Amino acid sequence: MRKERKDRPDQKAAREAYERRKRRQTLLWSGAAVLAVLAAAAIGYRYYTQARLLDTVTVASYPAGQHVAGKIEHKEKPPLGGAHNVAWQNCGIYDAPIHNEHAVHSLEHGAVWITFRPDLPADEVQVLRGLAADDYMLLSPYPGLDAPVVASAWNHQIRLNGARDPGLNAFIAKYKNNPETTPEFGASCYGAISSTATTVDSLDLGSGVPR
């Protein structure tokens, strides 16, 4: 009869250690696979949610580079593109309305312009001020808006129910300084006009203003 082979104590310990390592490695790979699936699902859901939030975005097709002086009549209020002043509006937070003509030039440089009804509750205005504290952002009241808050980027615009509407953050994330939708990507949002529509009429500035 063939005798059953018995491992020496050191061989048995080595085999058990090897099997433990294999089990641990299998568990690690399984855990990594689960995490990868969860991460992919989270990213997919994020993009799906963002797309749903942006379903109501108005899209236009205005060509860039139309620099003119003087008052301009825009189709949309507030405008989201088209002809504009040679000088852009410096990005920042404004307590008074600003000229459409300067703001549109800022959109051409990649800014998102948030406008709100002058009677918007103070707590909502504070929320907007927090969002507009970032670069390439404009914030100003806009009399006569047909929605409490409107956000505009070059050739894109969304009407919102208020400052906490989730569509606002989604719009900023997608369109602010987006190289695919910004005609003059990389251009500055500072160094030009900081006056408001209620203080100085700067619409007839000449070619000495930075372009």
- pLDDT above 60 (res 48): no
Q: Which is higher by pLDDT, 157 or 204?
A: 157
pLDDT: is 131 or 211 the higher one?
131
Confidence of residue 210 (pLDDT cuts 50, 70, 90): very low
Q: Single out the residue of 153, 81, 158, 149 nearest to residue 117, CA to CA.
A: 149
Q: What mean pLDDT value characterizes the chain?
A: 86
Give 94-141 pLDDT, tens digit per residue.
999 999 999 999 999 999 999 999 999 999 999 999 999 999 999 999
pLDDT of residue 19: 74
The top-scoring range by mean pLDDT among 18-22, 109-113, 193-197 is: 109-113
